[in-house]
Amino acid sequence: MYPTSRPRRLRRNPALRRLVSETSVEPRHLVLPMFVREGLSEPASIASMPGVVQHTRDSLKKAAVEAVGAGVGGLMLFGVPEKHDATGSGATDPEGILNVALRDLSAEVGDDTVLMADLCLDEFTDHGHCGVLDEDGNVDNDRTLQIYGEMGVVQAESGAHVVSPSGMMDGQVGVIRDSLDATGFADTAILAYSAKYSSAFYGPFREAVDSQLRGDRKTYQQDPGNGREALREADLDLAEGADMVMVKPAMSYLDVLRDIAGVADVPVATYQVSGEYSMIEAAVANGWLDRQRTVLESLTSMRRAGADTVLTYYATEAARWLQDARA
């Protein structure tokens, strides 16, 4: 009648729990996504993402320094231009907001953190798609690849340590790798959004980047019901030279994250996207959840599922909590 196995013995106090903890989250595991908007004179709040802003160039530098001081592993930069056009020309313009901001951050923080750049056209096009359109209004995969190659080079020239193709175009990693290597940027790494799902959880992000999207992205982003396809996408990206791969979103795709982490021979990232952030913030605002505990538990679940790196809007704040806990 008496249990001989008592797992509670190893939970009896904080020191024991810390000793046998299987999964940890450290500031270096976290990457902060940041938005910089052309033409702003002061940071602009994003209504659907309380606490997150579109930065000016100056406020971006300040926030980057704060994040580096907190120990975050990297910064992922998204640019929001004043003007959009059919080909997203601002993405390849060296004076476009994303590339200028990369140079700002490179000068400000240098190699003290990892500078990552979103490599996609959706923020820059007047139709909001991740590639250029053909005469029938469909995304033209191969024409888009040519632009992605140019974007990768410009971002590397602007100071990105890592370029991050997120458009889910077939062959994007290979074209970008070839373009970087041919122009002297063989050391610039590629973080491939290998399994990026056509998700409802991106809603607040559309506001954050002033998306002009018409229609949807189901012809190039993954179907939420497909898991094996994610493994195939990751395999293709690795064969094309990806240095890291990503699963996006995170919390609804932890099974996919686990599967890819189990077979990938490179670091694996995941992205706690805008909708996941906003759900937590809404529940906290209503008094339903404890903010710090919820955030850290969610990040731990992603690490436990196999993520080496987690992109999260909580990165700076969570890094400080983690530092304080270890002080």
Residues known to be catalytic: 196, 248
Separation CA 214–CA 127 (nearest Å): 6
Residue among 290, 306, 299 at smallest CA distance from 322: 299
Contact status, residue 121 vs residue 88, Cβ threshold 8 Å: yes
The 10 Å Cβ neighbour count of residue 122 is: 24
Give the residue among 298, 108, 107, 292 at the shortest CA–CA distance from 201.
298
Classify 323 as helix, strand or coil: helix
Count helices and strands (H / E) in the chain.
11, 10
3-class secondary structure per residue, 98-160: HHHHHHHHHHHHCCCCEEEEEECCCCCECCCCCCCECCCCCECHHHHHHHHHHHHHHHHHCCC
Two structure tokens written together for 24: 């940890």
Decide: 21 and 302 in contact? Cβ < 8 Å. no
Q: How many Å from the N-terminal Cα to the C-terminal Cα in the chain?
A: 44
What's the sign of the alpha-carbon dihedral 83, 86, 88, 93?
negative
- DSSP states along 45-78: E-TTSTT-EEEPHHHHHHHHHHHHHHT-SEEEEE
Q: CA angle 76-81-82, nearest 5°?
A: 155
